[in-house]
Chain A
Amino acid sequence: MAEKSPVSGLTGRRAWTYDVVVVGGGHAGCEAALAAARMGCCTAIVTLHLDNIALMPCNPAVGGVGKGQLTREVDALGGEQGRNADRAFIQLKMLNTSKGPAVRALRAQADKRLYEDWMKVVLSRTPNLSLIQGEAVSLDVSRETITGLRLADGRRLYCRAVVLATGTFLRAKVVVGDRSYPAGRVGELPAQHLSGSLRALGLELDRFQSATPPRIDGTTIDPGRMVLQEGDPQPLSFSHWQLPAPRKQVPCYLTHTTPATHEVVSAHLHLSPLRSGSVSGKGPRYCPSIDRKLINFPDREQHPVFVEPEGVSTREMYLQGLTTSLPVFVQDMIIRATPGLERARLVRPGYAVEYDYLPPQQLTLALHSKTVSGLFSAGQINGTSGYEEAAAQGLMAGINAALYVRDRPPFILCRDQAYIGVLIDDLVTKGVDEPYRMFTSRAEYRLLLRHDNAADRLSHLGHGLGLISDEQMAVVEKKQRALAEYAEMLDTIQVHAGSESDRLLGSLGTAPLEESQSAAKVLRRPQVTYADLVDLVSPADRQRLSSAPTEVVEQLEIQSRYEGYIRRQRAEIKRHTATETLAIPGDFEYRSLEGLTYEAKDKLSRIRPTTVGQASRIPGVSPADISVLLIHLHRFLHASEALETDAAAC
Chain B
Amino acid sequence: MAAEGPGSRPRPAVIIIGAGVSGCACAATLSASGIPVVVLNSALDAVGQPGYGPVVEGGVGGWDRIIETLAVLPPALRSVWLDASAAPDVEAAFFFVDRRMLSIESKRALEGMPGLEFRQGLVIDLKVMAGEPTRRGTAGGGEGDPRRVTVSTAFGETLEAEAVVLAVGLGLGGEVRLGDGVLPGGRYGESSAEGLQGALESLGAVFSRRSIKLGSWFATHGVDCGIGRRAGRGGVFGGVGGADRYRRARLTASGPLRERLEGGGRRAGASAGPVTTSVTMWPAHYPPAVHWSEELRSTDVVVTVGLDGAARPWLSPDGAALGETYLMPVSVGSAGGEEDTAYDADEAGLEEEPVASRLGHEVIGLVVTNVDRTGRLTVAGCPPLPVWIAGRAGGAADYLESLASGVRVARSVSGAPAGCDKVLPPSAVIA
Number of B residues, CB within 8 Å of A: 71
Q: List residues of B (314-342) whose CB comes within 8 Å of A's CBs.
A: 321-324, 327
Interface pair B343/A11, CB less than 8 Å apart: yes
C-alpha spacing A13/B350, complex, angstroms: 10
Q: List residues of A (153-185) whose CB comes within 8 Å of B's CBs.
A: 153-155, 176-179, 181, 183, 185
Interface pair A10/B343, CB less than 8 Å apart: yes
Interface pair A55/B154, CB less than 8 Å apart: no
Stretch with Cβ within 8 A of B (4 or more), from A43-51, A382-390, A537-545, A610-618: A43-51
Interface pair A124/B190, CB less than 8 Å apart: no
Known: A10-B348, A124-B324. A50 touches B358 (CB 8 A): yes
A16 in the interface, Cβ–Cβ < 8 Å?
A: yes
Q: Which residue of chain B lies nearest to A10 when distances are taken between CB atoms in the complex?
A: B353
- CB contacts (< 8 Å) of B183 on chain A: these are 135, 152, 189
B207 in the interface, Cβ–Cβ < 8 Å?
A: no
Stretch with Cβ within 8 A of B (4 or more), from A63-71, A307-315, A514-522, A586-594: A307-315
C-alpha spacing A627/B346, complex, angstroms: 70
B185 in the interface, Cβ–Cβ < 8 Å?
A: yes
C-alpha spacing A403/B218, complex, angstroms: 29
Interface pair B156/A117, CB less than 8 Å apart: no
Q: List residues of A (274-321) whose CB comes within 8 Å of B's CBs.
A: 312-316
A245 in the interface, Cβ–Cβ < 8 Å?
A: yes
B383 in the interface, Cβ–Cβ < 8 Å?
A: no
A351 in the interface, Cβ–Cβ < 8 Å?
A: yes
Q: Which of A111, A153, A347 lies in contact with B44, CB distance below 8 A?
A: A347
C-alpha spacing A121/B291, complex, angstroms: 10
C-alpha spacing A123/B291, complex, angstroms: 15
Q: Which of A8, A217, A312 lies in contact with B359, CB distance below 8 A?
A: A8
B381 in the interface, Cβ–Cβ < 8 Å?
A: no
- CB contacts (< 8 Å) of B209 on chain A: these are none
Interface pair B45/A187, CB less than 8 Å apart: yes
Interface pair B156/A328, CB less than 8 Å apart: yes
Interface pair A328/B157, CB less than 8 Å apart: yes
B178 in the interface, Cβ–Cβ < 8 Å?
A: yes
- CB contacts (< 8 Å) of A124 on chain B: these are 219-221, 322-324
Known: A50-B357, A178-B156. A186 touches B42 (CB 8 A): yes
B144 in the interface, Cβ–Cβ < 8 Å?
A: no
Shortest distance between the CB of A273 and any CB in chain B (Å) = 11
B75 in the interface, Cβ–Cβ < 8 Å?
A: no
A7 in the interface, Cβ–Cβ < 8 Å?
A: yes
Which of A48, A51, A120, A314 counts the most B-chain CB atoms under 10 A from its CB? A51
Interface pair A121/B321, CB less than 8 Å apart: yes
Q: List residues of B (184-231) whose CB comes within 8 Å of A's CBs.
A: 184-185, 188-191, 215-222, 227
Which of B107, B180, B227, B354 counts the most A-chain CB atoms under 10 A from its CB? B180
- CB contacts (< 8 Å) of A50 on chain B: these are 217, 322, 324, 357-358
- CB contacts (< 8 Å) of A347 on chain B: these are 44, 117-120
CB within 8 Å: A-B pair count: 202
C-alpha spacing A1/B346, complex, angstroms: 8
C-alpha spacing A402/B387, complex, angstroms: 57
Interface pair B355/A247, CB less than 8 Å apart: no
Interface pair B356/A9, CB less than 8 Å apart: yes
- CB contacts (< 8 Å) of B345 on chain A: these are 1-2, 10-12
Interface pair B355/A8, CB less than 8 Å apart: yes
Interface pair A154/B155, CB less than 8 Å apart: no
Shortest distance between the CB of A84 and any CB in chain B (Å) = 12
C-alpha spacing A132/B358, complex, angstroms: 6
Known: A10-B350, A247-B285. A176 touches B357 (CB 8 A): no
The contact string, 1 if C-beta is below 8 Å from chain A, for chain B 107-138, is 11001100001111110000000000000000
C-alpha spacing A6/B356, complex, angstroms: 12
C-alpha spacing A123/B288, complex, angstroms: 13
B308 in the interface, Cβ–Cβ < 8 Å?
A: no
The contact string, 1 if C-beta is below 8 Å from chain B, for chain A 182-197, is 0101111100000000
Q: Which of A130, A181, A189, A345 lies in contact with B219, CB distance below 8 A?
A: A130
Interface pair A188/B357, CB less than 8 Å apart: no
A226 in the interface, Cβ–Cβ < 8 Å?
A: no
- CB contacts (< 8 Å) of B355 on chain A: these are 8, 16, 44, 130, 132, 155
- CB contacts (< 8 Å) of B118 on chain A: these are 347
Shortest distance between the CB of B371 and any CB in chain A (Å) = 27
B181 in the interface, Cβ–Cβ < 8 Å?
A: yes
- CB contacts (< 8 Å) of A48 on chain B: these are 189
C-alpha spacing A636/B100, complex, angstroms: 65
- CB contacts (< 8 Å) of B180 on chain A: these are 5, 7, 152-154
Shortest distance between the CB of B139 and any CB in chain A (Å) = 22
Interface pair B219/A131, CB less than 8 Å apart: yes
A138 in the interface, Cβ–Cβ < 8 Å?
A: no
C-alpha spacing A268/B290, complex, angstroms: 49
- CB contacts (< 8 Å) of A114 on chain B: these are 283, 286, 288
Q: List residues of A (2-50) whose CB comes within 8 Å of B's CBs.
A: 2, 5-13, 16, 44, 48-50
Shortest distance between the CB of A362 and any CB in chain B (Å) = 29
Interface pair B323/A123, CB less than 8 Å apart: yes
Interface pair B43/A188, CB less than 8 Å apart: yes
A446 in the interface, Cβ–Cβ < 8 Å?
A: no
B179 in the interface, Cβ–Cβ < 8 Å?
A: yes
Interface pair B216/A10, CB less than 8 Å apart: yes
B49 in the interface, Cβ–Cβ < 8 Å?
A: yes
- CB contacts (< 8 Å) of B346 on chain A: these are 2
B105 in the interface, Cβ–Cβ < 8 Å?
A: yes
Shortest distance between the CB of A237 and any CB in chain B (Å) = 15
C-alpha spacing A51/B324, complex, angstroms: 11
- CB contacts (< 8 Å) of B76 on chain A: these are none
Known: A9-B216, A10-B350, A130-B357. A121 touches B191 (CB 8 A): no
Interface pair A313/B283, CB less than 8 Å apart: yes
A148 in the interface, Cβ–Cβ < 8 Å?
A: no
A429 in the interface, Cβ–Cβ < 8 Å?
A: no
A570 in the interface, Cβ–Cβ < 8 Å?
A: no
Q: Which residue of chain A lies nearest to B318 when distances are taken between CB atoms in the complex?
A: A50
Interface pair A187/B155, CB less than 8 Å apart: no
- CB contacts (< 8 Å) of A368 on chain B: these are none
Interface pair A135/B181, CB less than 8 Å apart: yes
Known: A117-B100, A178-B156, A314-B111. A187 touches B122 (CB 8 A): yes
Sorted from nearest, which 7 A-B pairs have the closest CB atoms? Answer: A187-B43, A124-B323, A9-B216, A153-B179, A154-B180, A9-B356, A11-B345
Query: Can you identify 20 A-B contacts, CB atoms within 8 angstroms?
Result: A10-B348, A49-B188, A51-B322, A114-B286, A117-B286, A125-B221, A130-B222, A130-B357, A153-B181, A179-B154, A187-B44, A187-B45, A189-B184, A189-B185, A314-B111, A315-B112, A327-B156, A347-B44, A347-B118, A349-B120
List residues of chain B with CB under 8 Å of any chain A CB.
9, 41-46, 49, 100, 104-105, 107-108, 111-112, 117-122, 153-157, 178-181, 183-185, 188-191, 215-222, 227, 283, 285-288, 291, 321-324, 327, 343-346, 348, 350, 353-360
